[in-house]
Structure 1
Amino acid sequence: MKAIILFGHGARDNRWREPFDRLAELWRVQHADLPVELAFLEMMQPSLEEAVTSLGALGATYITIVPVFFGQGGHLRNDFPVLLNACQKKFPQIALSATPAVGEDPAVLQAIVDFGARAL
């Protein structure tokens, strides 16, 4: 079974995660047959490991991790690969893969341009 993890940075203020919760809910509405979990690098739960554990318990055998970051900064270049590698070792029965940061996708960049244009 395939599943997806939407991976964000995390923050001290719990309101910061509200758009992530809405994003996960949109996924559930539009892709009800593919489980989704949120995961956070720091300061919020669940962690990447906890999200993989949860999806694995549902029967996921292939999980794609989507970093919901604007770009490939230090966290994605340095911290994320360590977490991903640890999960791959802990869950060898689950194939884990990761996409580039969402902010590197031309369609996402265009959506931001369109948002700005609508604001004028």
Structure 2
Amino acid sequence: MKAIILFGHGARDPRWREPFDRLATLWRAQHLGTPVEVAFLEMMQPSLEEAVASLAGSGATQVTVVPVFFGQGGHLRNDFPVLLDDCREKFPQIALSATPAVGEDLAVLQAIIDFSAKAL
């Protein structure tokens, strides 16, 4: 079974996670057969490891991690690969992969332009 993790930075303010929860809700409504979890690098739960464990417990065998970051900064270049490799070691039965940061996708950038244009 395939599954997805929406991976964000995390923040001290608990309201910061609300868009991630909305993304997960939208995913569930549009992709009924593919489980989704949110996970955070720091300051919030669940961690990447906890999200992978949850999906593994639900029978997932392939998990794609989608970094919901604007770009490939230090966290995604340095910290994230270590976390992903740790999860690969702890969950060898799961095929773990990751996409680039969502902010590097042209469609995402265009959505931001469209959003901005509506503000004029």
Identity %: 82
2:7 corresponds to 1:7: yes
| RMSD over aligned Cα atoms | 0.3
Q: Which residue of 1 aligns with 2:84?
A: 84
Report the alpha carbon displacement of residue 103 of structure 1 after superposing the two structures with TM: 0.1
TM-score, L = length of structure 2: 1.00
Report the alpha carbon displacement of residue 74 of structure 1 after superposing the two structures with TM: 0.2
Partner Cα distance (1:32, 1:70) in 2: 27
Partner Cα distance (2:33, 2:118) in 1: 33
Report the alpha carbon displacement of residue 64 of structure 1 after superposing the two structures with TM: 0.2
Q: Which residue of 2 aligns with 1:59?
A: 59
Partner Cα distance (2:21, 2:60) in 1: 21
2:72 corresponds to 1:110: no
Report the alpha carbon displacement of residue 53 of structure 1 after superposing the two structures with TM: 0.2
TM-score, L = length of structure 1: 1.00
Any idea what SS the aligned residue of 1:38 has? strand
Where has structure 1 moved over 6 Å in runs of 4 or more? none
Q: Which residue of 2 aligns with 1:19?
A: 19
The one-letter code sitting in structure 2 at the alignment partner of 1:33 is G
Q: What does the per-residue CA deviation read over 1:14-71, in whole Å, with 9 as the maximum and x for residues that have no partner?
A: 0000011000000000001100000000000000000000000000000000000000
Q: Which residue of 2 aligns with 1:36?
A: 36
Report the alpha carbon displacement of residue 88 of structure 1 after superposing the two structures with TM: 0.3
The one-letter code sitting in structure 2 at the alignment partner of 1:46 is P
How many residues are paired up? 120
Partner Cα distance (1:18, 1:98) in 2: 22
Q: Which residue of 1 aligns with 2:95?
A: 95
Report the alpha carbon displacement of residue 10 of structure 1 after superposing the two structures with TM: 0.2
Partner Cα distance (2:82, 2:15) in 1: 27
Any idea what SS the aligned residue of 1:34 has? coil
Partner Cα distance (2:53, 2:86) in 1: 13
